[in-house]
Structure 1
Amino acid sequence: MRAALVTLYVAAALVAATCAVLSWRRRQRGPLASSLALITAGAAEWSLAEAVAAAAGSPSTGLAATYAMFPGVAMLVAGFLWHTAVFTGRPITRRGLLLVHPALLMAAVVSDPWHHLFFSAVDAHPDGGVTVQFGPLYWLHTAYCYTVIAAGFVRAVAAMRRAVRGHRQVFVLFLAGALAPLAGNGLSIFTGLTDRQVDLTPALFLVTATVWLWAERFGTPARRTPVAYEQVIAALSDAVMVLDPDGRVLDVNPAAAAMLASLGHVPDGAVVGRRWFEVVGPQLTAAFGGGNAQQTLTDGGTTYDVRVVRMRNADGSTPGAVVVVRDVTELERLRAELTDQAVRDGLTGVYNRRHLTTTLREQAGEGPLAVVMLDVDHFKSINDTYGHAVGDQVLIRLAQELGTAVGDTGTVARYGGEEFAIILPGAGARTAADLAEQWRDRSAGATVATARGPLRVTFSAGVAELAAGADVEDLLRRADRALYAAKEQGRNRVVTDVSLSTV
């Protein structure tokens, strides 16, 4: 019996020590490795002391080995507290507190021969072993250890319920590994097995070490901090608010706290427990109280996308809602920019032909409508003489002049090549022709700098008015026909489709 106990304790010490070494070597890879190393190192020391106590040939050696178990106990309890705190996502910020219990325990053990408050009595055995009677300090130490371990189990179970489904197996391994020696310790203390120098606790640390070592070595990420839903929510850059059925705020993530603080409707920053319309302010009230997804623009120019998701229980009841708010200001700016680019000419910056056609169809039938088609005179000669770079500058300069002259009264578009089209809603052919003459005079006065000196550019224009019952394609054809007539009549002039005569 005695030899079997010694063998069992030594085996437990070796396995626990191996696990401690492996965990310590992995301390740079995860936050749980250091605390796991401390736990298994304490288990190894406790088991080794148990082996010495079981093999002792004299009462003094047996008593010294019994006292020597408690450094391992202190390491194990402190390590368990540390490990559980990190494991459940609430790490201990002041680790010095972990040393309080070990320091008091060691003081009680070392001074026990003088006050006998830890072991009230020691009975020597003929074979060299000892049986101890527990004193008040021992029971106080035991109560603390069980309280710490019970609290750790409660926190682990609560964290397991909060964890994402794929990480719950990590908690199961943790709890299974820790439960075996805890059960053995309670059985040994409260059933009198220690009177026969039998302590199941170190032996059952074989189970703990095996489970946790298997998890470390074969892919189950027990050394990693499990991911809880609250950690996922906290990591989101979107503002997330959880509301109860009455609209009171139950929780907010850091992004939501920052957003609400920027809105300034809660001076003290305390939002939990308040109604949502008290904390979001009038600008977001409509979006929060609306449907599934809405967009709102604040006075400060920030655009928020607000999504309200109603939670549902299995019985169909609604326990509350989750509100997700995203700042889409930059996204909307980029979207508007891309939308604008899709309808703009890449060289000149005025609208493109597709937008011209769309605008004509939208404005047709809303009243008088005229189109001016114009073309740069002798543009091929400009390209051949000055180069295409100068030709591009001519088009850009003309587009700028037209855009400034037309302003908000019409739409300027590049129709193709060196040809432009201007839509003039509310204008007839005569008014459009008069405006085109003004633009022609203005353009003739502008110059483009070239290596050969200033280049003056003129254009020819054709004007047409949308006839009753005609379509926009017919309007463009007639304006183009008037432009062709202007070129045939000598260029640098405006011709209307009505008379095909020079104005």
Structure 2
Amino acid sequence: MVVLLLSCGILSAGFAVIGYYNRALPIARPFVLFMAAETVWLLGSACELMSTQLQTVLLINNIEYPAMMTVPVALLFIAFVYSGREHYLTKKIVPLFFIVPALVCLLVYTNPVHLLYYTGFHMETGGGTLIWVYDHGPLFLILIAYNYVVGLAALFLVAGRYLSGHKFYRWESIILVIAAAIPFLLNIAYILHAAPLPDYDLTPVAFFLTGVIISAGLLRYQLFSAVPVAYSRVFSTLHDGVFVLDKEFRVIDLNPAAEQLTGMRAASAIGKNLASLVPETAGIYRPPDQKIPEQEIQIIHDDTPRFYDVQMIPLDPEGTGSKGYLCIFREVTGRKQAELSLLTANKKINLLTRITRHDLENKLMIVHGYIALLRKPLSPEALSEYLEKQEAAVNAMHEQLAFTREYQQLGSRAPIWQNVDTIIRRAKTQVFFDQVRFAITVESTEVYADQMLERVFYNLLDNAIRYGGKNLTAVTVTSYPDSGALVIAVEDDGVGIPAEDQERLFEQGFGKHTGLGLFLSREILMLTDIAIDQTNPPGKGARFEIRIPPGKFRPASGDHRQ
């Protein structure tokens, strides 16, 4: 028995050293405390068995008792760290766990005075060896009660980790539950005289076995470098959707972001093939010997397209996917929308360049024609007429060039979320309303649109004032939901728009001024799939409705009114 205790004590010291070299990791610190205290307890127990002098035995017992009381507390600390509750182990809280051990040690040291912890001592023969046996008094129950409370708390924490943790880490939880239960079960057997060696208290050896099992778990499952709760926290708080797949692409686990992506709870999704949950991924699979490249897919959510970069990361070191995959969905809708907007803008600018060049060539031909006529003898009336027509052509070219300077900004910057109320009020300050009343009642909303959105509302308000007629008294801007979309209406009580003009309102060049304002407004809105139309019948005042599709508007993030 002495040899067993000495051997266990030496090995326990070795494990403490291993833990010390990993002391930077949270779980290593209570592990070192556990194994160091266990070393003192084991070696002290061995020395007790080797001595036949009662005073010597009691001295050794007094030395090992603080270590004996520390072992279950250190085991509880390991459970705290393992279950992710290490934040409770502060400098103020940790000493509280040692109040009862300190009291027990004080009772042991003062036992000769009160004889309530040990009532006496006697020698017995155990395994052919004379050993001193302690007759325990009533205060000994304090030790038993505290150690069992601490042990049950450790078991509770580890069991909770098992129930809430990922299945990959449940074996580690089972190992720690077994490790924590062994010494207490063996101690109960000793008290009931049902232990394998009833003459010896094998509790220190049982705690050593606990340390060995924990050490094996730490080394086998790398808990020194990856406490399971860290996995759980990171996994559950990632904004990216993450699926853990087996080699057949069946879902083993998924995080809350992935649940939201599929619209299915984890309990229902686990065991299903990824393609059945996200059909858009059906085309990304490859044979085991081929690497799966990162791909972009489009998924429709509530009639709104969402774009995701999908990455398949093999779980095996060789990268073959033999142990499954980590499938990560990273939403890139904002980036994709910006790319599509810029592409659309470039196409439209190229188109406008061709149209503008054609129009300017026509206007220049007109000017050259009148210059040729001016070289001939002309009456004053004809000369004045030709000069006016040349001036009109030059002014038209000037307006065309001014428009191209403005149009070239279209889509040059990525769309952004803009507060509707702020944009409209800012556009209103650029229009002279004089006696015309202006009213705005729009939802506190942000719209995803090109950064020239303000120009759209400026054009609509300017047109209302410019062409509303003498009877114009009010311009109003309102908003309301309609079939999942948001409609913003700009309406006036002026003369309205003639029936013959309504079909051509948004054509380039049509209108009484430059004929480019409404055309530009429609182009700006179309960059982010926003539509605009004039809905009032002739003679009733103009009403322009801007229809913003789902996904392109949201509640305002704050009060942006000016």
**TM-score (ref. length: structure 2):** 0.47
Distance 2:240 2:508 in 1: 52
Provide closer, same or farther for how the CA distance between residues 14 and 402 of structure 1 changes in structure 2, counting only shifts above 3 A: closer
Which residue is equivalent to 2:42? 47
For residue 184 of structure 1, what is the aligned residue in structure 2?
186
Tell me the secondary structure at the aligned position of residue 227 of structure 1: helix
The one-letter code sitting in structure 2 at the alignment partner of 1:342 is L
Query: 2:421: which partner in 1?
Result: none
Change (3 A) 1:331 1:437: same
User: How many residue pairs end up in the alignment?
Assistant: 316
Q: CA, structure 1 residues 343+109, in 2 after alignment: closer, same or farther (shift >3 Å)?
A: same
Tell me the percent identity.
20
Which 5+ residue runs of structure 2 have no aligned equivalent? Answer: 242-254, 270-300, 307-330, 363-398, 409-454, 464-500, 517-562
Contact 1:131 / 1:195 at 8 angstroms: preserved in 2? no
The answer to whether the Cα contact below 8 Å between 2:356 and 2:400 also exists between their aligned partners in 1 is no
1:136 aligned residue (135, 138, 154): 138
Q: Describe the shift of the 1:136–1:356 C-alpha distance in structure 2 as closer, same or farther (beyond 3 A).
A: farther
Per-residue deviation, 1:34: 0.7
**Greater relative contact order (Cα 8 A, min sep 6): structure 1 or 2?**
1
Q: Secondary structure at the match of 2:45?
A: helix
Matches within 5 A, 1:96-495: 96-124=95-123, 129-191=131-193, 198-221=200-223, 224-227=226-229, 231-232=233-234, 235-237=237-239, 309=264, 334=335, 336-345=337-346, 351-353=349-351, 374-377=358-361, 399-400=404-405, 426-427=503-504
1:64 to 56, 59, 63: 59
Aligned-partner residue type, residue 90 of structure 1: R
Q: Secondary structure at the match of 1:27?
A: coil
Assess if the C-alpha contact under 8 Å between 1:42 and 1:73 holds in 2: yes
Q: Tell me the CA shift for residue 165 of structure 1.
A: 1.0
CA contact (8 A) 2:28 2:224 kept: no
Closer, same or farther in 2 for the Cα pair 1:226/1:396, shift >3 Å?
farther
CA distance in 2 between partners of 1:108 and 1:154 (Å): 29
CA positional deviation for 1:80? 1.2
Post-superposition Cα deviations, 1:114-138, rounded to whole Å, max 9, x if no partner, equal 1111112112469773211111221
Relative to structure 1, the CA distance from residue 184 to residue 67 in structure 2 (aligned partners, 3 Å threshold; closer, same or farther) is farther
SS at match of 1:151: helix
- CA shift digits 1:457-488 (9 cap, x unpaired): xxxxxxxxxxxxxxxxxxxxxxxxxxxxxxxx
Give the Cα separation in 2 of the matches to 1:437 and 1:65.
106
Change (3 A) 1:167 1:345: same
Does the aligned pair in 1 maintain the 2:62–2:108 contact within 8 Å? yes
Relative to structure 1, the CA distance from residue 150 to residue 435 in structure 2 (aligned partners, 3 Å threshold; closer, same or farther) is closer
Q: Does 2:11 align with 1:15?
A: yes
Q: 1:146 Cα deviation (Å)?
A: 1.0
Give the match's secondary structure for 1:221: coil
Shift of 1:56: 0.3
Change (3 A) 1:63 1:434: closer
Q: Quote the offset at 1:152 in angstroms.
A: 1.6
Corresponding residue to 2:27 among 23, 32, 46: 32
1:396 positional shift: 7.6
**Residues 426 and 95 of structure 1: CA distance in aligned 2, closer, same or farther (over 3 Å):** same
Q: Distance in 1 between matches of 2:509 and 2:53?
A: 123
Asked if the contact 1:16–1:205 (Cα under 8 Å) also holds between the matched residues in 2, the reply is no
Query: Contact between 2:123 and 2:133, CA under 8 Å: does it hold in 1?
Result: yes
Query: What's the CA shift for 1:209?
Result: 3.3
Secondary structure at the counterpart of residue 135 of structure 2: strand
SS at match of 1:343: helix
Change (3 A) 1:356 1:230: farther
CA contact (8 A) 1:74 1:102 kept: yes
Deviations 1:238-262 (A, max 9, x none): 99xxxxxxxxxxxxx9x99xxxxxx
- Classify 1:434/1:232 alpha carbon distance in 2 versus 1 (closer, same or farther; 3 Å): closer
8 Å Cα contact 1:56-1:128 kept in structure 2: no
For residues 157 and 238 of structure 2, the distance between their equivalents in structure 1, rounded to whole angstroms, comes to 24
Residues 150-193 of structure 1, C-alpha deviations (whole Å, 9 max, x = no match):
22212211210211011112112222333333332222233187
The answer on whether the counterparts of 2:38 and 2:71 sit within 8 Å (CA) in structure 1 is yes
Of 49-58 and 124-133, more deviation after overlay is shown by: 124-133
Report the Cα distance in structure 1 between the residues aligned to 2:509 and 2:111, rounded to whole angstroms: 113
- The residue that corresponds to 1:297 in the other structure is none
TM-score, normalised on structure 1? 0.52
Instruction: Tell me if the contact between 2:66 and 2:102 (Cα under 8 Å) persists in the aligned partners.
Output: no
SS in 2 for 1:136: coil
Cα 1:340–1:170 change in 2 (3 A) is same
Letter in 2 for 1:344: A
Q: Distance in 2 between matches of 1:152 and 1:36?
A: 14
How far the C-alpha of 1:223 sits from its partner, in A, is 6.4
Structure 1: where are the runs of 5+ without partners?
240-252, 257-291, 294-304, 315-323, 358-370, 379-393, 410-423, 441-503
1:433–1:16: structure 2 CA closer, same or farther, 3 Å change rule? Answer: closer
| Matched letter for residue 503 of structure 2 | G
What are the superposed Cα offsets for residues 63-100 of structure 1, whole Å, 9 maximum, x if unpaired?
32334332222110110111111111222242222221
RMSD of aligned Cα (Å): 4.8
Distance 1:434 1:178 in 2: 85
Change in 2 beyond 3 A, CA 1:307/1:396: farther
Q: Aligned pair in 2 of structure 1 residues 425, 42: CA closer, same or farther (>3 Å)? A: same
Q: Distance in 2 between matches of 1:110 and 1:97?
A: 21
| 171 and 50 in structure 1: CA distance in 2 versus 1, 3 angstrom threshold | same
Which one-letter code corresponds to 1:117 in the other structure? L
Change in CA separation of 1:395 and 1:170 when aligned onto 2, cut-off 3 Å: farther
The SS at the match of 2:345 is coil
Please tell me whether the aligned partners of residues 186 and 195 of structure 2 are also in contact (alpha carbons under 8 angstroms): no
Distance 1:115 1:336 in 2: 83
Q: 1:97 to 1:332 in 2, by over 3 A?
A: same
